[in-house]
Chain A
Amino acid sequence: MPQRQYGTAVVDVDAEGFMTDPSRWTREIAAAIAREEGIAELTPAHWNVIEHMQKEFRETGQAPSIRRLSKGSVVSVKDLYALFPGGPARKAARIAGLKKPEGCV
């Protein structure tokens, strides 16, 4: 299994760089993955999305879709695309230490 080093932490990832063990996730790792995804700094608005995704993942075993995030008033669709440009659901899930979202919407 591929591994990646973020700071002093070495974590297992899948072929696309998604962490395979969410329990190893830390805020430092999140910030490092975000930089890989072209997001220089995680703002409170980013953390709000990340924490909500993790909460939903713990409850359902799935990362929430963009629609669930916007309908749950976590973040609007527009803001989500602005926060995670070029692939909001995928990038946010990866930064949150979750597996790649499987849904089509």
Chain B
Amino acid sequence: MDGKIEKVSIVISKGGLDGVYPGLIMANGARMEGIEANLFFTFFGLDAITTKRMGRIKVATVGNPGLHLPSLAGILPGFSALATAMMKKAMDKIDIPPVPEFIAMVADAGCRLYACKATVDMFGLKKEDFCPQVDSIINVGKFYAISAGGQIIFT
């Protein structure tokens, strides 16, 4: 294997802003370097491509030690919304777009987006529930076929 990465397939399995952004940034960064990129959304990661939910993804304030706050504070009404608003503002400053805009940007950059069939069936979702940038709903076998010859990153 020589030094250069030619292709990555990134799995986004977690919901919440901190679950969704790392994979989006890595996929977009791959395209910026001319690396072929696929995104595979599974479990709560599907929120990022579900039309009804993608604009309302929040930071988890309970059970999130990274926030450096006691979990009990996180249960206060409006706390998650406040933390989310603060984080969005900080991200906008460094040019990281909100999730719906980011999804459109990576898709325009040539990254292909897929939804996990098992989760789609489990949640009773349909292709129409997803944003138009989603290429198709695929099973794990197809995901491996699409990922062939590249690196797979699970987030």
Interface residues of A (CB under 8 A from B): 65-68, 70, 76-78, 81, 85-90, 103-105
Q: Which of A76, A77, A85, A103 contacts B34 (CB 8 A)?
A: A85
| B108 and A77 form a contact (CB under 8 A) | yes
**Cβ of B2 under 8 Å from chain A:** no
| Given A70-B105, A90-B33: 19 more A-B contacts, CB < 8 Å | A66-B105, A66-B109, A67-B105, A68-B95, A77-B105, A78-B108, A81-B31, A81-B108, A81-B109, A87-B32, A87-B33, A87-B34, A103-B94, A104-B29, A104-B96, A105-B28, A105-B29, A105-B95, A105-B96
In angstroms, Cα B25 to Cα A104, docked, is 7
Say whether, besides A87-B32, A87-B34, A77 and B95 are in contact (CB < 8 Å): no
Greatest chain A CB density within 10 A among B32, B33, B108 is at B32
Interface size classification for chain B: 10 to 19
Chain B neighbourhood of A103, CB < 8 A? 94-95
Give the residue name and chain of the B residue nearest to A84 (CB): B34
A84 to chain B, nearest CB (A): 10
A21 to chain B, nearest CB (A): 25
Chain B neighbourhood of A76, CB < 8 A? 108
Chain B neighbourhood of A87, CB < 8 A? 32-34
Say whether, besides A78-B108, A81-B109, A81-B110, A66 and B32 are in contact (CB < 8 Å): yes
- The 9 A-B pairs at the shortest CB distance, nearest first, are namely A86-B34, A77-B108, A65-B95, A87-B34, A78-B108, A67-B95, A105-B96, A77-B105, A105-B95
B35 to chain A, nearest CB (A): 9
| A67 and B97 form a contact (CB under 8 A) | yes
B22 to chain A, nearest CB (A): 11
A79 to chain B, nearest CB (A): 9
In angstroms, Cα B136 to Cα A69, docked, is 29
In angstroms, Cα B32 to Cα A78, docked, is 12
Chain A neighbourhood of B31, CB < 8 A? 81
A61 to chain B, nearest CB (A): 15
Instruction: Scan B73-113; emit 1 where CB is below 8 A from any A CB, else 0.
Output: 00000000000000000000011110000001100111000
